[in-house]
Amino acid sequence: MTTVSRFAAVLVPALLAAPLAWSQGAGQDAPWGDSAQIQHQHGVDYVNGGVGLNARARIAHVREDFPLKMVFSTPSGNYLVADHVSIRHEGEQVLAIDDVGPMLLVKLEPGTYRVRATYEGRTQERDVRVGAQPRTVYWRFPSA
């Protein structure tokens, strides 16, 4: 067996076992600490964050519980933090938060929502349909 084969024989099982070992400790001190925690506003659960590996790990861990994910970036894909995001449903505001992103998970009932996002004085608005399947909406703001 070559040195590369021996190395692969040791490394691959270790990499495959790492997520299992990590998830077993999740009930204790989660590896993401206090970043990207579930928050509540007007009866709506949301997770705001995604800066850093720990926050992205937390978002990935809870993603399936949130039917809407929004990602804020420049056209080239660099993440950014939006100044403000508001979500309305049937004329009523259901969520309004500042300093949003680069990722936002929102637990909403199925329906059509009007989402407004502002970054560096520019506002984008769109209707977002939330259904039974998780959906990701990408917001791309040009650089100033």
Distance between CA 1 and CA 14 in Å, rounded? 19
Same domain? For 48 and 72 the reply is: yes
Quick check: 4 pLDDT over 80? no
* Tokens, residue 94: 């259901």
Same domain? For 15 and 78 the reply is: no
107 — pLDDT class (breaks 50, 70, 90): very high
13 — pLDDT class (breaks 50, 70, 90): very low
Same domain? For 12 and 41 the reply is: no
Distance between CA 131 and CA 104 in Å, rounded? 17
Residue 111's nearest CA partner among 141, 64, 68 is 68
Same domain? For 72 and 91 the reply is: yes
Q: What is the CATH number of the domain that holds 133?
A: 2.60.40.10
Same domain? For 23 and 66 the reply is: no
Same domain? For 18 and 50 the reply is: no
Same domain? For 23 and 39 the reply is: no
Beta strands in the chain, from DSSP E residues, in sequence order: 38-41, 44-49, 68-73, 82-89, 92-100, 103-107, 111-119, 122-130, 135-140
pTM of the model: 0.74
Tell me which residue range forms the domain holding 38: 31-140
The structural domain count of the chain equals: 2
* Tokens, residue 117: 């996002």
